[in-house]
Structure 1
């Protein structure tokens, strides 16, 4: 037995295969910025080639070149003013709807996390609300709330509510049991446990839900613009107007401008989430 033990081969540590795993260390920031820029350049190049070389002159209006879109929607004052005026109306509704969705979603998440009867009562209907296509609800919401700001706001809230509820509930439920035991040792009340333990622990998950809902709020606001045309027109109504007049360059410029709002909100909540996680992580 001793001889067998002595003749066993020496164990060696496993070597890392660099292409099997993305290393978040050196060079990752460069890749994170260079890769999307390179992809954008390739897409713009293919887009320009198709628009100027592959389409006949009589069909080039279907896909105007990137320069034509930039010039019509952003460089010319008339198009720029029209697009950004409508975009502000859509952005205003998206921001108000997102704030309301955050307040409503966090409230119901807290209620459902504190009482099983509340979760059993409300959560199935939250799931049902998420599964109903928002376009199918738009006519009914118009009958109930009219065809102006209120209906657009309701669509925005309903479209962005579910991720906030689910993520916040997940964050509250994922608190370490050892921390719960420590609070029990000090005879903490349910309110103290919620304020000082569960809500701080749920903050990263809730922020992740806010980040998802930010883009959904913009989409909901644009969807509402297509159907509720009273009041100040939004970017959705403007896109539909450009569609009817076959102004494809302006329509694509309006689409690009509307995407900027969702991107800015997504990056904003992403930065807040990274800041929170950096403060919560142990310092080395």
Structure 2
């Protein structure tokens, strides 16, 4: 119970302080004629979340953006793992492919988004492609790092037993690289949500995702709905990040237990 309280109370205290500062800013620091720029938390809850029509609009936009983010993340996982495994098998492949993965990470995605619209249309495919490009590099980099970081003595042991390349990959490298792989997945999970919102924000055609709503609400001066859309998008990103964190702890628990040093034996008279 103490450990749970220690984990819950600090972020809860920060959240309470943030809401208090929000109330202070919206009700005291901002003049009454400008309070539409920063509505109070209770106004956001009342208009964005307690009004059924407004809430249904927000949830429909979130559902579309979530679909784009999950499809993009799934494709990024498949492509990223395949590229990292391929590069880990030969240095010349890593030298040939990894620089382009770095270049892909450094190119401003916002500059490419209009091109995707011209080439592939302004629908679902272009939004998914935006997610893939944003989420791809963390998976490639972390997976390659994990595959390359296996203890050399373990490689020597597999060589001693005449293990083939596939046996070495599936029984040694991939299991040892799981913590690094899931670190990349957690980073990419949040990045895919950002990619879905960026795609919605710029592709102003078709069904409205949460990014399109974030684009539209300021132009209507609907600040309560804007804050509601931002809060929902943030909560979805946190949920995806938390889900991969839980999955990481479940999958890599054995790895962490092996890394812990054994406690020294107690004396016989204890």
TM-score category (smaller protein): over 0.9
Given that residues 156 and 220 in structure 1 are in contact (C-alpha distance below 8 angstroms), is that contact kept between their aligned partners in structure 2? yes
TM-score, normalised to structure 2, is 0.93
Question: What does residue 13 of structure 1 align with?
Answer: none
- Residues 1:207 and 2:179 aligned together: no
- Unpaired runs of 5+ residues, structure 2, are 263-270
1:163 to 123, 130, 138: 138
- CA-to-partner distance for each residue in 1:163-205, whole Å, 9 max, x for gaps? 0000000110111111111110110111110111111111111
Whole-angstrom CA distance in 2 between matches of 1:232 and 1:279: 44
Query: Please, which of 47, 66, 73 is the counterpart of residue 72 of structure 1?
Result: 47
- Is 1:252 the counterpart of 2:240? The answer is no
Q: Hey, what does 1:189 align to over in structure 2? A: 164
Q: Which of the residues 47, 67, 75 maps onto 2:22?
A: 47
Q: Provide structure 1 residue ranges, at least 5 long, that are not aligned to the other structure.
A: 1-25
Q: Which residue of structure 2 lines up, in the alignment, with residue 4 of structure 1? A: none
* Mapped partners of 1:179, 1:277: distance in 2: 19
1:95 corresponds, among 70, 75, 81, to: 70
In structure 1, the residue matched to 2:91 is 116
Alpha-carbon distance, 1:230 to partner:
2.5
Alignment correspondent of 2:239: 264
Give the aligned CA root-mean-square deviation in angstroms: 1.4
Cα shift readout 1:96-139 (whole Å, capped 9, x = no counterpart): 00000000000000001101111111100110110111101111
Larger Rg: 1
Report the alpha carbon displacement of residue 231 of structure 1 after superposing the two structures with TM. 2.3
Aligned 8 A contact 1:156 1:217 in 2: yes
Judge conservation of contact 1:72–1:249 (CA < 8 Å) in 2: yes
Alignment of 1:11-90 (within 5 A): 29-90=4-65
> Quick one: distance in 2 between partners of 1:185 and 1:27?
49
Count of residue pairs brought into register by the alignment: 259
The offset of 1:78, in angstroms, is: 1.2
For residues 139-175 of structure 1, the C-alpha deviation after alignment (integer angstroms, 9 at most, x for no partner) is: 1111111111110010010011000000000110111
Report whether the alignment pairs 1:177 with 2:152: yes
Moved over 6 A (4+): none
Aligned-pair CA distance for 1:94: 0.1
Do the aligned residues in 2 keep the contact of 1:148 with 1:229 (CA within 8 Å)? no
Contact 2:130 2:196 in 1 (8 A): yes
- Alignment correspondent of 1:133: 108
Q: Give the 3-state SS of the residue equivalent to 2:205 in structure 1.
A: coil
> Equivalents in 2 of 1:137, 1:29: separation in Å?
45
| Distance (Å, rounded) in 2 between the aligned partners of 1:120 and 1:173 | 14
State the 1:229 CA deviation.
2.4
Deviation at 1:276, TM superposition (A): 2.5
